[in-house]
Amino acid sequence: TKFVYAFTEGNKDLKDLLGGKGANLAEMTNLGLPVPPGFTVTTEACCLYLENGTEPPALRDEVGEHLAALERQMDKRLGQADDPLLVSVRSGAKFSMPGMMDTVLNIGLSDASVTGLAAQAGDERFAWDSYRRLIQMFGKTVLGVDGELFEEALEEAKGAKGAVTDVELDAADLRTLVDRFKDIVRTATGRDFPQDPREQMDLAIRAVFDSWNTDRAKLYRRQERIPGDLGTAVNVCSMVFGNLGPDSGTGVAFTRDPASGQQGVYGDYLQNAQGEDVVAGIRNTVPLADLEQLDRKSYDELMQIMETLELHYKDLCDIEFTIERGKLWMLQTRVGKRTAAAAFRIATQLVDQGLIDEAEALQRVNGAQLAQLMFPRFDLTAKADQIGRGIAASPGAAVGKAVFDSYTAVKWSRSGEKVILIRRETNPDDLDGMIAAEGILTSRGGKTSHAAVVARGMGKTCVCGAEDLEVDTKRRQLTAPAPDGKGTLVIDEGDVVSIDGSTGKVYRGEVPVVPSPVVEYFEGRMHAGADDADELVQAVHRVMAYADRVRRLRVRANADNAEDAARARRFGAQGIGLCRTEHMFLGERRELVERLILADTDTERSQALDALLPLQKGDFKELFEAMDGLPVTVRLLDPPLHEFLPDITELSVRVALAEARKDANENDLRLLQAVHRLHEQNPMLGLRGVRLGLVIPGLFTMQVRAIAEAAAERKAAKGDPRAEIMIPLVGTVQELEIVRDEAERVIEEIEREHGVELKLTLGTMIELPRAALTAGQIAESADFFSFGTNDLTQTVWGFSRDDVEASFFTAYLEKGIFGVSPFETIDKDGVGKLVSDAVADGRATRPDLKLGVCGEHGGDPESVHFFHEVGLDYVSCSPFRIPVARLEAGRAAA
């Protein structure tokens, strides 16, 4: 195998092998863009190294050959004393993991070559600054020296000089600092900083390999669901210098605004700086537009290149560039991360530009982004106490208690507090806290700072670079200028703050929130065609239309009252896939259910049922009216009986106390007996679903009667009811047959009475493994199947859904046994296999069998794709998930 590729040998489709950075460096090289020459060590080499604990034997020679070629091309040798070739050794995995892994710049510098570099550049200060950066980065990332030690030494040197920024240190200061840094390395590691350039390079390559498995990289991958076995590539890239004086600098840019999608000039530039300086927020950057004044030629070339990249990648790109004495170099590009709103806008803009078609546009957005756009935002008309403003880095409205470090953020959020993580700037060590927080606020750094990039990736609200705010992490305080301009006001740890990631505004106290415009649009309160509709709503409207045009899956709602049904319909539901009748038995009606359960005689029982009948019928009529013309699947009573009865301990105590007072009441005594009689160790595996219907005479027939009469009355009122009756928790076809016979008898009776044909269908849920395994038989008696994937997951795995989250799931997620809870995303290999087999067996028996899914999975993006693939007819989910399901069904089909 080939382990090393020159930039000229790769291309953008080789991300698996060359990582995203390497593949795109190659692509840019081949597009003729100015990329400093170099080569990429493959992810395969990394994986072999991680597996065996040592590099594949051939790697050393191959790196040597490519290095030699690079040296010929550059006409100087790595670390050559009088004119050194210097390189960066950069990590780069298939999926971008910003700041998670290591990069070392200026490899090749040594005591010998630093003077050569100074002579070549005609700049001593520059050479010593580069050398101290090498020792610092190399020391920290390759040799594992505590980075704080270098920071402290640097601060000391600045302090001694009365300097504020590192630019004020001169060559002599930096030279002293280099000695100091070398001492730090020697003391910490017991060895000298390596002077052999090839050794530096090899150690750095190995360090990049190792950085794949740091804790923070692993945590990030779990968060982003990136597989752990991909490994990283390593890019060796000849150095260009942005720190050679005022006509040099480094910057980052986007081809469009990653927050709004607007086309224009977006980015940050820092004069006389190298590498991470921009992102780290160490010195304040200038907006990219200012580069036009600073260096017109480079600016124009950059604009040209940005256009080339957009047209080539047909998408928003982000780039890193460096200007060395007026010469522009491209150091990185990739299809850039963006906010949810920008994703929708960019997708439609690119369609308008004729760069992509509708099917491709659907791949540029996803359901998670749409869900994010449906979150509420701050009420701009409310009185709010603004204390500062930063950059709107990642949208959303977040309210929480101020915390100033990651540890506290995690601790407080575990105990149920909502927190806002406030830092001067964030770094990868803050990741835990960022995950735990509602939002992130920093006082330094721009749109491309660590906080901004990571927050956008996580879909978390972020305001960064709020410069009027002073963050003091030691004292756990945020200080803001007082609104009257006199003095300051202080936010302490625990005080509530509100941050608006869409405007960058920071408020003291809690600001009320209002629904998102996207929800207003789905609700029909805002029209995409109207003048006031903003561009985001327009974009969502168009993308939803693309999805609806291509999707094959229908989308229904889980709803059990007219209000939810009406909303679901506004959101685009094509029926109800699950109406849970038990919700109709709560509240005041609970007493009637109690009577039903306690009934000793047939008369008592039918009295209770007769009382329930008109109530149920009323509910169904409203529901059928709200969903007129669309199918409504009504599930007969499902939950364990004990849910309708008082808590056994409480009732026992009450009765015991009453008996002691000698005034026990008859009803309580009977109730207690019933509770004892019906008590089950495992109610979820007990008397519920169809079993209830078979054990309590008249219960299911009452429900069927209520459905049929409601339908008949709707017909009489010229409505178009389309009810489907669903029997829960069936394990064998016999159960279904018995219920079916009774139900058909009732339906026929009502049809005769009303002189109508109701066309009610009867089907079952497939939510027990046995039902799935005998689906072929069950289909004989069922007009439709609806997969109840919640219970099916529960019974297939043998997990109690109500308990696992609290007990062992965290451990399972941490150990990587699953990347995501099987209750959230369907377990394709296990539960999914039962589903797809049952689909095949059911259809074999009855080709026109209607197939759907109800349960949480119906609104989960990944699961929706799976249901599309196995050929279901519809998914059903909660009303708010409907747009997400529509979109994902479209994406699955596009």
Residue 332 interacting with ligand ADP (CB under 6 A) = yes
CB-neighbour burial class of residue 84 (10 A; exposed 0-12, middle 13-18, buried 19+):
buried
Map residues 20-59 to x or -, x wherever contact with ligand ADP holds by CB under 6 A: ----------------x-----------------------
Residue 103 interacting with ligand ADP (CB under 6 A) = yes
Across the strands, what pairs with 271? 249
Instruction: Tell me the torsion sign for CA atoms 381, 384, 390, 396.
Output: negative
The answer for residues whose C-beta is within 8 angstroms of residue 453's C-beta and 6 or more apart is 98, 99, 279, 337
- Residue number with CB closer to ligand ADP (208 or 743): 208
Q: Among residue numbers 59 through 98, which ones bind ligand ADP (CB under 6 A)?
A: 88, 90
Backbone angles phi, psi at 580, to 5 degrees: -90, 110
Interface residue with ligand ADP among 79, 84, 99, 108 (CB under 6 A) is 99
Q: Which does 103 bind (CB under 5 to 8 A by kind): Mg ion, ligand ADP, none?
A: ligand ADP
Residue 331 interacting with ligand ADP (CB under 6 A) = yes
Residue 240 interacting with ligand ADP (CB under 6 A) = yes
Smallest separation, CB 267 to ligand ADP (Å)? 13
Interface residue with ligand ADP among 105, 121, 177, 441 (CB under 6 A) is 105
Q: Which does 841 bind (CB under 5 to 8 A by kind): ligand ADP, Mg ion, none?
A: none
Interface residue with ligand ADP among 237, 253, 434, 835 (CB under 6 A) is 237
Of residues 66, 450, 865, 868, which has the active-site annotation?
Answer: 450
Does residue 340 contact residue 517 with C-beta atoms inside 8 Å? no
- Residue number with CB closer to Mg ion (658 or 684): 684
Does residue 42 contact residue 26 with C-beta atoms inside 8 Å? no
Of residues 854, 865, 868, 877, which has the active-site annotation?
Answer: 854
Smallest separation, CB 254 to ligand ADP (Å)? 14
Q: Is 619 annotated as a binding residue?
A: no
- Residue number with CB closer to Mg ion (791 or 862): 791
Interface residue with ligand ADP among 322, 498, 574, 863 (CB under 6 A) is 322
Number of residues that bind ligand ADP (CB under 6 A): 16
Q: Is 541 a catalytic residue?
A: no
Rounded to whole angstroms, what are the CA distances from 732 to 10, 69, 728, 742, 764? Answer: 58, 72, 11, 17, 11
Smallest separation, CB 6 to ligand ADP (Å)? 15
Closest CA to 854 of 557, 566, 552: 557
Tokens linked to 848: 């026109």
Rounded to whole angstroms, what are the CA distances from 444 to 278, 447, 470, 770? Answer: 11, 10, 10, 59
Q: Is 789 annotated as a binding residue?
A: yes
Total Cβ atoms within 10 A of residue 518: 26
Looking at residue 830, the DSSP 8-state letter turns out to be: I
Helix or strand (DSSP H, E) at 479: strand 477-481
Please identify the residue of the shown chain whose CB is closest to the bound Mg ion: 791
Helix or strand (DSSP H, E) at 278: helix 277-280
- Rounded CA-CA distance 785/578 in Å is 12
Q: Which does 339 bind (CB under 5 to 8 A by kind): Mg ion, ligand ADP, none?
A: none
Smallest separation, CB 167 to ligand ADP (Å)? 17
- Residue number with CB closer to Mg ion (200 or 448): 448
Counted residue by residue, the chain has a size of: 894
Tokens linked to 417: 């507090």
Helix or strand (DSSP H, E) at 542: helix 535-550
Closest CA to 281 of 169, 430, 400: 430
- Residue number with CB closer to ligand ADP (83 or 276): 276
Q: Which does 105 bind (CB under 5 to 8 A by kind): ligand ADP, Mg ion, none?
A: ligand ADP
**Sheet with strand 263-271: strands edge to edge:** 286-287, 263-271, 249-256, 317-324, 327-335
The answer for residues whose C-beta is within 8 angstroms of residue 305's C-beta and 6 or more apart is 33, 319, 328, 330
- Rounded CA-CA distance 501/504 in Å is 5
Does residue 584 contact residue 620 with C-beta atoms inside 8 Å? no
- Residue number with CB closer to ligand ADP (198 or 833): 198
Residue 239 interacting with ligand ADP (CB under 6 A) = yes
Q: Is 790 annotated as a binding residue?
A: yes
Q: Is 450 a catalytic residue?
A: yes
Smallest separation, CB 85 to ligand ADP (Å)? 11
* DSSP H helical ranges for 561-647: 562-570, 590-598, 602-626
Q: Is 334 annotated as a binding residue?
A: no
Residues that bind Mg ion (CB under 5 A): 320, 332, 767, 788, 791
Assign 767 to helix, strand or coil. Answer: coil
Interface residue with ligand ADP among 62, 320, 724, 860 (CB under 6 A) is 320
Which sequence positions are flagged as catalytic? 450, 854
Q: Which residues are annotated as a binding site for substrate?
A: 580, 635, 767, 788-791
Q: Which residues are annotated as a binding site for Mg(2+)?
A: 767, 791
- Residues within the interface to ligand ADP (CB under 6 A): 36, 88, 90, 99, 103, 105, 237-240, 275-276, 320, 322, 331-332
